[in-house]
């Protein structure tokens, strides 16, 4: 395979890199608080000023035509080929920026699902404001007793004339406190087998009867929420796909979600920071980067990081051949989130007792950054389906192993 780029592609990279460096520095600043944050912690922000920065950054990405290179031109995307998309991911991840501005969920999974399965009216109504950032979206799937076993969900919607009336509760809903709209999985036929009585709705978060309550994570941030529905009226025209056939729609969306979950981890950037850290701290009585165990571990991470990049290119290339993302997208999600966790745990190992210290003062080796990263890293192995569930999917649907 030839991994070299044409002059035109190199020009695209150069212009994009200049744009990203200038724009992100202008919007976020250049210190550890500016670009040093991992992707998801930018999305985590409950702080209003930080959120406004993210919206401003989103708008600039949109105006420059970079916000959704992978969407077709017909719906306002870039209609870009494989190489341009790969270059975009490389450059954004190099700087540790969010791939899709402030509207990650809309652009990586909800918009593509509406394009695949929504009505023409839904496409015309909802897609453009996703790109501009005027309408932020969240995803109401998980419930207190339905996470890995998503099809066990109990939030109920009853069709009354031209509207559904929704009652129930969702949990762990990222961005619900910022979102204007939500995709909501509801049970519309309680008498049917559990995968068959579900429907997929698009819900305006301002509808009377919706209450959003923040949940605080171990990091101290409250990026996700409980959401309660008390006789919430949703117009029937906001049903995606057929009534009681929402499971198919939700699975399509989960595949788009997992396809983007691997690329979301700025693995190479974290690896480079880990190498820098090894030059700053001691391990076993010698500078860490001279210790054979540290060197071996870093080399292993470097080759794993290369696998993540190649898996990312493979997923992009399958997508461009027109294939909807399949169960193999679980591989990128699983491998990247577990590698991210292993790398942050190794940083803590190198830092030793310092790994437990957190304060606001900038310090050598960015020790606070690693504390936050370590606390954040576990969540990526849970969100979008846990690592155990990804193993099950790969075992059963990719490798066709017998069920245990």
Residues that bind ligand FAD (CB under 6 A): 138-142, 147-148, 172-174, 224, 379, 382-386, 388-389, 392
Q: Which is nearer to ligand FAD, 324 or 395 (CB)?
A: 395
Nearest to ligand FAD of 192, 215 (CB atom)? 215
Q: Is 199 left (phi over 0), alpha (psi -120 to 50) or beta?
A: beta
Of the pair 76, 325, the CB lying nearest ligand FAD is at: 325
CA separation for the pair 37, 34 (Å, rounded): 7
Residue 258: Cβ-neighbour burial (10 angstroms; 0-12, 13-18, 19+): buried
**CB within 8 Å of 239: residues ≥ 6 apart:** 164, 199, 200, 201
Closest chain position to ligand FAD (CB): 147
Q: How far is the CB of 391 from ligand FAD (least distance, A)?
A: 8
Task: For ligand FAD, give the closer residue by CB, 83 or 227.
Answer: 227
One DSSP character per residue, 43-101 reads HT---HHHHHHHHHHHHHHHHTT-TTTTS-GGGTS----HHHHHHHHHHHHHTT--TTT
If the CB atoms of residues 249 and 294 are measured against ligand FAD, the closer one turns out to be: 249
What does each C-alpha distance from 288 to 213, 229, 380 come to in angstroms? Answer: 44, 53, 28
Q: Spell out where 216-366 has E strands.
A: 224-235, 239-240, 282-283, 286-287
Rounded to a whole number of angstroms, the minimum distance from the CB of residue 46 to ligand FAD is: 14
Strand-pairing partners, residue 282, are 287
**Orientation angle between helical segments 292-320 and 329-351, nearest 10 degrees:** 160
Q: Which residue has the tokens 């496409």?
A: 123
Least distance (Å) between residue 150 CB and ligand FAD: 7
Min CB(148)–ligand FAD separation in Å? 3
Smallest separation, CB 57 to ligand FAD (Å):
21
**Cβ 48 to ligand FAD shortest distance, Å:** 20
Q: Which is nearer to ligand FAD, 82 or 212 (CB)?
A: 212
């Amino acid at each position: 395979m030839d991994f070299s780029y044409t002059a035109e592609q190199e020009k695209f990279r150069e212009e994009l890199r200049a744009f990203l460096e200038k724009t992100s520095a202008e919007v976020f600043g250049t210190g550890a608080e500016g670009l040093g944050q991992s992707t998801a912690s930018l999305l985590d922000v409950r702080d209003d000023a930080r959120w406004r920065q993210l919206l401003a950054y989103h708008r600039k990405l949109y105006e420059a035509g970079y916000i959704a290179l992978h969407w077709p031109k017909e719906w306002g995307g870039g209609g870009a080929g494989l190489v341009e998309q790969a270059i975009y991911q490389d450059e954004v991840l190099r700087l540790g920026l969010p791939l899709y501005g402030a509207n990650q969920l809309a652009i990586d999974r909800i918009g593509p699902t509406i394009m695949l399965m929504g009505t023409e009216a839904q496409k015309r109504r909802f897609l453009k404001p996703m790109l501009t950032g005027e309408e932020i979206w969240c995803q109401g799937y998980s419930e207190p007793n339905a996470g890995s076993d998503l099809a066990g969900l109990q939030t109920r919607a009853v069709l009354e004339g031209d509207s559904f009336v929704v009652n129930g509760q969702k949990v762990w809903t990222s961005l619900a406190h910022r979102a204007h709209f939500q995709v909501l999985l509801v049970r519309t036929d309680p008498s049917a087998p559990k995968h068959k009585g579900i429907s997929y709705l698009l819900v305006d978060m301002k509808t009377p009867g919706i209450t959003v309550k923040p949940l605080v994570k171990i990091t101290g941030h409250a990026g996700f929420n409980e959401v309660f529905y008390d006789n919430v009226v949703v117009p029937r025209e906001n049903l995606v796909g057929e009534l009681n056939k929402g499971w198919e729609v939700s699975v399509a969306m989960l595949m788009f979600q997992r396809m983007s979950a691997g690329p979301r981890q700025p693995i190479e950037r974290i690896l480079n920071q880990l190498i820098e850290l090894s030059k700053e701290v001691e391990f076993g009585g010698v500078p860490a980067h001279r210790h054979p165990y540290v060197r071996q571990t870093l080399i292993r991470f470097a080759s794993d990081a290369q696998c993540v990049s190649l898996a990312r290119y493979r997923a992009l290339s399958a997508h461009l051949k027109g294939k909807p993302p399949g169960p193999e997208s679980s591989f990128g999600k699983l491998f990247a989130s577990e590698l991210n966790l292993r790398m942050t745990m190794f940083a803590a190992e190198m830092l030793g007792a310092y790994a437990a210290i957190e304060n606001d003062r900038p310090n050598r080796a960015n020790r606070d950054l690693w504390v936050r990263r370590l606390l954040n890293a576990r969540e990526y192995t849970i969100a979008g389906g846990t690592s155990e569930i990804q193993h099950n999917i790969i075992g059963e649907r990719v490798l066709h192993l017998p069920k245990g």
